[in-house]
Amino acid sequence: MIRTLYIDELNELRTCDSPYDMEGTAKWLWVDLSEPTAHENLLLSQYFHFHPLSIEDAVSVRQRPKYKEYDDYLFFVFHAIDLKTMLPEEIDVFINSSMVVTYHKEHSEEVDKVWNSVICKRANEKLTTAEVMYRTLDAIVDNYFPFVYELEDKVFSFEDQHSVDISTEELIEETFDLREDLLIIRRTVLPMKDLVYRLLEGRIMELSKKQKIFLHHINDHLVKQAEMIDSSREMTADIRDNYISLNSFKMNNIMKILTIYSVIFMPLTLIAGIYGMNFDVMPELHWKYGYLAVWLLMIGISLGMIYYFKKKKWF
C-alpha cells in the first residue's frame, strides 16, 4: 500500500495515494510504502531514482540498524519490535531536505502514529522531513519499553519461585528462554543506540538545537533500555549459577550422607561376612554368648563411628 502526504505550492497539506497523483509541485513530500507489492517497489527506482544498493537493502535483505550516505539523500535502517512475535521489524527511511520515504514490509504502528500526528498539525506549523524521521525513531524506541519491562518483570518473578516446587531443570530451561528473549532485544537496542549516538554527535547530518534536544531524549531512553537489558542478563546469569550451585550443594550433601552410612555399615558387613563363612572350626560359633557378643560389637562400632563423625561435624 502506498500513501502520500505533501505540501503544495499554496502551503496546504494534502494527501493522495501515489506521488503520481499529486496536484502541482510538492514543496515537501512524505511517501509511505507499507507492505508493498513488487509493482509498488518500482516506485523507489522509477519515481525517486534511488541508488540500486539502497533499494536492494530495503527490498531484499534484512539489515541491522545503520545508515548510508548517497549523493542527494540519506538512507537509514531502523528496527522496531513486534510485541506479539517478539521479532524485529525493519523500517527503512530515505530522506533529504524536502523528501522522506518510509518503507516497511510489515504494518507499522509507529509510522501510523507519526503519520496521524502530521496530518493533525496546524497549517502554520513548520514541518520538516527530519522531524518525521525523528518522531518515527522516537515512536520506535518508546515501543521497546513494554518488551523490556515485561522481560524485567519475568526476571524479578524468579525470586518468587524459591518457595514454589519447581525443578532445577525446568527453572534452567526458563532462564535460557528468557536470556534468548533478552538477546533478541539487545541485538536491536545496541545498534540503534550506536546509530542515535552518531546522529547526536553530528557525524551524519547537521542538527538544530531543537533536534539535538529531541535526539538526547531518544538517546536517554536507549541508554536506559540497554542498562535494563544488561542488568536483566546479569540477573538471569546469577539465578542460573545460584540454582546450579544449590543443586550441586544438595547433591553433595546426599552423597556425603550416603557415604557416611556406607562407612558405618562396612565393618558390620565385614563381621557378618566372616561369621557367615561355612568353616567347621570356628570357635565363636559354639560359644553360648557369641550371638549377643557380635550384636554388641556391631552396635558399639556403629555408635562409635557416629560419635566420631558428629565430633568432626561431618553431618
Bin 276: left if φ > 0, else alpha if -120 < ψ < 50, else beta.
alpha
pLDDT for the residue numbered 214 = 81
Q: How far is CA 183 from the centre of its chain?
A: 4
Q: What percentage of the chain carries pLDDT values higher than 90?
A: 1
Q: Assign domain 1-123 to its CATH architecture.
A: 2-Layer Sandwich (3.30)
Q: Does 66 have pLDDT greater than 80?
A: yes
> What rounded mean pLDDT belongs to the chain?
81
Q: What is the pLDDT of residues 118-174, one digit of tens each?
A: 887 654 456 778 888 888 888 888 888 888 888 888 777 766 665 455 566 677 777
CATH topology of domain 255-311: Methane Monooxygenase Hydroxylase; Chain G, domain 1 (1.20.58)
Query: What residues does CATH 1.20.58.340 cover in the chain?
Result: 255-311
| Residue limits of CATH 3.30.460.20 in the chain | 1-123
Q: Kindly report the length of the chain.
A: 315
**Cell matching residue 130:** 527530519
Q: Whole-angstrom Cα distance, residue 273 to residue 270?
A: 5
At residue 258, φ and ψ (nearest 5 deg) are -65, -35
pLDDT band at 194 (very low <50, low <70, confident <90, very high): confident
C-alpha cell at 115: 503519520
Share above pLDDT 70 across residues of the chain, in percent, rounded to a whole number: 91
Question: Does 179 have pLDDT greater than 70?
Answer: yes
All cell numbers assigned to 14: 494534502
User: Does 34 score more than 80 pLDDT?
Assistant: yes
